[in-house]
Structure 1
């Protein structure tokens, strides 16, 4: 008999209203994680409406190859708008929740049964008050997520952002990423999970 350890990818979901930039958040994070040596899968979903409907983006990453490109549960769920609240049902036990207090009034009490790691954040407020641009709230939020989870460096995010947005936005988006990163001190380490299976004789 032989034990085989199978790695389970970490999974993050950005969920909100179409037009808030959550798809870009996922794309930048996914590519930055690739720069730092991870295997990564990124998928996205748009509702029927271009703006105003639900949109979400998933990022799976692991130090080993990922066998299946989807996840049913998530280590981190970032809620940008109340439309995304139903996705909290997919949060893993003791997972991390971010929610933007400008667009989400309250997190359901049921979430507290799943985790105590619930962060009320203000990326939209910071983007508007500090940078005078509400539309960079997504980059502020991404900087916050990077600081709290420590899964990717701010330098990798900045480099990747510049590969995905017009040059005229580089300075503003870099300021937004740094603003979010420096605005929060809380940290939560995402746990590594491995499923151990036993192989019978003849399958070693």
Structure 2
């Protein structure tokens, strides 16, 4: 008997090479596995490893995932203007868009038309003020994702993070996850929307 598959949730974390967005995706994927999900994580780099467009996709579901690629995303986290320009057209209707406004000065009009769930925080700037370094900005971003998307816990993110961060930096990165979580108050339930659903219930 052929097994039925449900459509997975989809997240894209995008930036430029050197910002740590791929590491974010790897840690997010592992955290979701810790929580008992089926997960697919893929990544892509531009021609330039540092300074070129790069992104990491995480698909997750409570059931097996039959196709390891998404063409649109319920949540997009963008760390650079180049990334948000490239990937905002892939956001689901009524999806969640989070941007680091230190490096993103404007939201493309496609994003404004697609959703009102747009979170803009100067993540890199706030990270430097808080920790004296921009290095844990990607962990701050994971905290933002945890709060905004309501599908992953900070506890599981921290557990996953310890596998990828040198021991002497674990405490700082754990604090960075909590700091990101504290930056916003509102959470959303990520879900798929029909195009004709924009209007009533659109938030």
TM-score (norm 2): 0.90
Secondary structure of 1:75's counterpart equals: strand
Q: Distance between the aligned counterparts of 2:60 and 2:28, measured in 1?
A: 10
* Whole-Å separation in 1 of the counterparts to 2:191 and 2:4: 15
Greater strand content: 1
Q: Does 1:134 align with 2:138?
A: no
Question: Aligned residue for 2:182?
Answer: 182
**Which stretches of structure 1, 4 residues or more, deviate above 6 A after TM superposition?**
none
Verify the 8 A CA contact 2:127 2:137 in the aligned structure 1.
yes
Q: Which runs of 5+ in 1 are unaligned?
A: 194-204
**Residues 59-68 or 82-91, more deviating:** 82-91
Q: Where do 1:14-25 residues align within 5 Å? A: 14-25=13-24
2:7·2:61 contact (CA, 8 Å) conserved in 1? yes
Q: Which residue of 2 aligns with 1:198?
A: none
The alpha-carbon deviation at position 110 of structure 1 amounts to 2.1
Match of 1:145 in 2: 145
| Aligned counterparts of 1:11 and 1:103: Cα–Cα separation in 2 | 24
- What is the rounded CA distance, in whole Å, between the counterparts of 2:113 and 2:4 in structure 1? 30
Does residue 88 (structure 1) correspond to residue 88 (structure 2)? The answer is: yes
CA-CA distance at 1:112 after TM superposition: 1.5
Is 1:32 the counterpart of 2:23? The answer is no
Residue 192 of structure 1 deviates from its aligned partner by 6.3
Number of residue-to-residue matches in the alignment: 190
Report the Cα distance in structure 2 between the residues aligned to 1:94 and 1:187, rounded to whole angstroms.
13
**Cα separation, 2, equivalents of 1:122 and 1:171:** 22
* Partner in structure 1 of residue 201 of structure 2: none
Give the corresponding residue for 2:41.
42
Is the partner of 1:135 in helix, strand or coil?
coil
User: Match of 2:199?
Assistant: none
Tell me the SS of whatever aligns to 1:7: coil
Partner of 2:112: 112
Q: Secondary structure at the match of 1:170?
A: helix
Q: Which residue of 2 aligns with 1:201?
A: none
1:45-84 superposed matches below 5 A: 45-84=44-83
Structure index of larger Rg: 1
Offset of residue 7 of structure 1: 1.4
Q: CA RMSD in A?
A: 1.4
CA distance in 1, matches of 2:110, 2:47: 28
Distance 1:67 1:6 in 2: 7
- CA–CA distance in 1 between the matches of 2:46 and 2:4? 38
